[in-house]
Structure 1
């Protein structure tokens, strides 16, 4: 690989907005990129050589990718201690004896989705409240109409009764 190609790969590694982590088969961290460090609020020098489990918790997907030499796509994962939600792809690089993961931060999208769901719930609740209030008003109006109709009927019956008495 030429120096220029190496430089381009280094730039890609440094500027990729996705978190990138590389571990060995014993699951010790070999490399992390700056985006990964931002996501997990760590310094690169502090995590290199550390067990991945210390930082990531459950690393069963890394083991599975290595043992079965397969690519695990669309692995949704939550890291609540970092307020982080990622969609990750984990794959082995058997020739190099490494396992890599690409982590796409979906925290903002998930938060937006949750906010939209909350807004939907609140809207449905407000609509229900409006309908309930309208039903109460309708019932009150119906009650008032019923009362005035009954009063009118009583008055009309009195008038009819009086007229009948006068005509006899």
Structure 2
């Protein structure tokens, strides 16, 4: 049996991205193992024939592809129910009047970006805190220096008066 499988069938099974093919009514016709894993589906047969809106709450992109034969590239979608952020490519398969979608899980990349953003924000806050502390110290030093200069001036004036009286 394995010898009769084409490279495309093997690729379909091994592609790490979730793949789905829909009919013109936007019903699921075919999914790959990565789709099953990404959406935590018990078995493929249980969702075949279901509307894609069960996974994509907003089906407007699929409608656009269906109506205009447009290709949607790198559209970011958040699947709240599954805690997954994905980059989605949706395109028509004109020869069979179907629509295909490639769903690339970018959740870990988004989490890394968010982690780096938080680190940068914290670093900026720490820099601001250091600058504010340095300004406060500089103002305190200037204040003390001003008092010292004023006291020194007063003492020197007194000393000058004492010397000039003699």
TM-score for both structures, normalised by structure 2 = 0.90
Specify the SS of the correspondent of 2:55: helix
By percentage of residues, which structure has more helix?
1
**Matches of 1:5 and 1:112, distance apart in 2:** 42
**Matches of 1:74 and 1:58, distance apart in 2:** 16
Query: Hey, what does 1:74 align to over in structure 2?
Result: 74
Query: Hey, what does 1:24 align to over in structure 2?
Result: 23
Deviation (angstroms), 1:17: 0.4
Q: Deviations over 1:101-146 (max 9, x none)?
A: 0111111112211222221111111111101100110111111111
Specify the SS of the correspondent of 1:82: coil
Query: Hey, what does 2:155 align to over in structure 1?
Result: 155
Number of residue pairs matched by the alignment: 165
Query: Hey, what does 2:130 align to over in structure 1?
Result: 130
Query: Hey, what does 1:50 align to over in structure 2?
Result: 50
Deviation (angstroms), 1:20: 0.2
TM-score for both structures, normalised by structure 1 = 0.89
Q: Deviations over 1:70-126 (max 9, x none)?
A: 322222212122221111111111222321101111111122112222211111111
Deviation (angstroms), 1:6: 2.6
Deviates more, 1:124-133 or 1:85-94: 85-94
Specify the SS of the correspondent of 1:161: helix
What RMSD over aligned residues (CA atoms) do the two structures have, in Å?
Answer: 1.8
Any unmatched runs of 5+ in structure 1?
none
